[in-house]
Amino acid sequence: MMIRYPNGKPYNKEIEQVQKPKKQQAIKDNNFSNRGKTLEDDLNETNTYYLQRQIATIHKKPVPIQIVKVEYPSRSAAVIREAYFRTPSTTDYNGVWNGYYLDFEAKETESKTSFPLKNIHAHQVEHMKNVIQQKGIAFFIIRFSSLDRYFITPFSIVENAWQQMVRGGRKSIPLQQFEAGAIEMKASYQPRIDYLQAVQQFISEEIERD
Amino acid sequence: MMIRYPNGKPYNKEIEQVQKPKKQQAIKDNNFSNRGKTLEDDLNETNTYYLQRQIATIHKKPVPIQIVKVEYPSRSAAVIREAYFRTPSTTDYNGVWNGYYLDFEAKETESKTSFPLKNIHAHQVEHMKNVIQQKGIAFFIIRFSSLDRYFITPFSIVENAWQQMVRGGRKSIPLQQFEAGAIEMKASYQPRIDYLQAVQQFISEEIERD
């Protein structure tokens, strides 16, 4: 009988042990809740969950690449032989949920005390301003990975900190600001990070203010 | 004096004649209004126009790439040395306009009589169904390039034709169906293809029906 991983790939114990001793070790050291997964893995799983249950249609955008050289071997697929990573001009994730346009960026930090703003690009801040101006919903999903804490963070918190940094202020957002102004989510099994709950809360607060 | 193309690239007559005799011929044959530009060029210009005037925030997604090998030369940028084109799982363009989520695919055909459905992937049709279900606005921008005619086409027209094809019907949409059910736009100077006008019309018709 062939044993398969949840993703359908066959499990081959012998190859696994020979090729990936370090990774296996690393997985053992992690605690149960994050299992060595990145925030991107968590969000991809969450978005697949939302899509399959017709809850929302949200995708990660592909990484932008500047292609310089492509080879076309006969009888096989085109091969890109020289290309470079480009700086994204927008955020990583966008989509639609019940008529709302959602747009967000996901970032992790190893820091236990603050989120460094160097993780964010000026043009992403600019893009999110444009989104808000068009009545879209813009936010950040920030994970303090050493603490395994997730904060769904309204754009306004990052924007304020960004403006202060530009005027010579501090270059990071203290954890306390997330605790006070963002919505903390616990990672769970399915969906991993149920961020639409937090978005619903943003919308309700917005309606109350109006 | 250096002569430049409208896109800013310098014009070098000698190189041009040696390397691209066929393309030059083709450009000469074109009429004034399209100037050898692709539909993608037209839409990028249009989206930049919308963005700069804060009319809408709509972007083309990067081409999805499967990266296999990356080199990290010291003191310079990472170079992708082996990568492959992947089939996109969504459409090429999306964004937000005045609270509306917009999602569309742009396609050109050389045919003068019909649009071949082989230009569209099954998962794109599936994606657009999901968008409509989440109350987003999904449509196609189809250019009959030999005729230089542009049609902003509601998803329903493509979806109906697709369903018929799946049941063994014809594999293309006749030009007459676009003339009857889509909104034709003339290309102009700024913006090149003012497709938001057509989208506004879709929305008004939708409201009337309700």
Reported as a pLDDT band with limits 50, 70 and 90, residue B10 is low
Q: What are the structure tokens assigned to A139, written together?
A: 């936010």
Q: What are the structure tokens assigned to B152, written together?
A: 């902003």
**B31 to chain A, closest Cα gap in Å:** 30
**What is the rounded distance in angstroms from the CA atom of residue A52 to the CA atom of residue A190?**
12
**Mean pLDDT to the nearest integer, A35-60:** 93
DSSP assignment string, chain A: ---B-TTSPBP-HHHHHHH-HHHHHHHHHS-TTTTT--HHHHHHHHHHHHHHTTS-EEEEPPPPEEEEEEE--TTS--EEEEEEE---SS-SEEEEETTEEEEEEEEEE--SSEEEGGGS-HHHHHHHHHHHHTT-EEEEEEEETTTTEEEEEEHHHHHHHHHHHHTT--SEEEHHHHHHHSEEE---SSSSS-HHHHHHHHHHHHHHH-
**What is the rounded distance in angstroms from the CA atom of residue B36 to the CA atom of residue A79?**
27
Q: Per-residue pLDDT for A27 more than 90?
A: no
Indicate the helix (H) or strand (E) that contains A74.
Answer: none
Residue type, B71: E
Q: Check residue A74 and give its pLDDT.
A: 87
Q: Which CATH class is domain A42-63+90-209?
A: alpha beta
**What is the rounded distance in angstroms from the CA atom of residue A188 to the CA atom of residue A175?**
22
DSSP assignment string, A102-142: EEEEEEEE--SSEEEGGGS-HHHHHHHHHHHHTT-EEEEEE
Is the CB of A65 less than 8 angstroms away from the CB of B61? no
Minimum Cα–Cα distance from B97: chain A residue: A134
Percent of chain A at pLDDT exceeding 70: 83
Indicate the helix (H) or strand (E) that contains A57.
Answer: strand A57-60
Q: Say how many CA atoms lie within 13 Å of B172 toward its Cβ.
A: 12
Is the CB of A133 less than 8 angstroms away from the CB of B54? yes
Q: What are the structure tokens assigned to B114, written together?
A: 């019909």
Nearest to A96 among B77, B80, B131 (CB): B131
- CATH architecture for the domain at B17-62+88-209: 3-Layer(aba) Sandwich (3.40)
Residue type, B22: K
By the CB < 8 Å criterion, does A49 face chain B? no
Torsion over CA: A37, A178, B98, A200 (sign): positive
The position carrying tokens 């169906």 is: B177
Q: Check residue A16 and give its pLDDT.
A: 37
A205 pairs with which residues across the strands? none
Strands A114-116, B137-144: parallel, antiparallel or unpaired by DSSP?
Answer: unpaired
Reported as a pLDDT band with limits 50, 70 and 90, residue A102 is very high
Nearest to B84 among A51, A79, A101 (CB): A79
Q: Mean pLDDT score of chain B, rounded to an integer? A: 87
Nearest to A131 among B57, B64, B65 (CB): B57
By the CB < 8 Å criterion, does B108 face chain A? no
Minimum Cα–Cα distance from A59: chain B residue: B90
Is the CB of A85 less than 8 angstroms away from the CB of B78? yes
Count CB atoms within 10 A of the CB of residue B75. 4
Nearest to B61 among A51, A56, A62 (CB): A62
- Give the residue with greater pLDDT, A76 vs B157: B157
**What is the rounded distance in angstroms from the CA atom of residue B190 to the CA atom of residue B170?**
37
Domain boundaries, chain B: 17-62+88-209
Give the model confidence (pLDDT) of B162-210 as tens digits.
Answer: 999 999 999 999 999 999 999 999 999 999 999 999 999 999 988 887 7
CB pairs under 8 A between A and B: 110
Backbone angles phi, psi at B111, to 5 degrees: -60, 145
Q: Say how many CA atoms lie within 13 Å of A96 toward its Cβ.
A: 24
Nearest to B90 by CA among A97, A60, A175, A76: A60
Nearest to B158 by CA among B200, B118, B101, B210: B118
**Mean pLDDT to the nearest integer, A57-81:** 94
Minimum Cα–Cα distance from A137: chain B residue: B99
Q: CA torsion angle for A202, B50, B152, B34 (degrees, to 10)?
A: -160
Reported as a pLDDT band with limits 50, 70 and 90, residue B31 is very low
For the sheet containing B79-85, what is the strand order? Answer: A65-71, A79-85, B79-85, B65-71
Angle at which helices A122-133 and A155-166 cross, to 10°: 130
Q: Per-residue pLDDT for A25 more than 90?
A: no
Reported as a pLDDT band with limits 50, 70 and 90, residue A76 is confident
Q: Check residue A8 and give its pLDDT.
A: 54
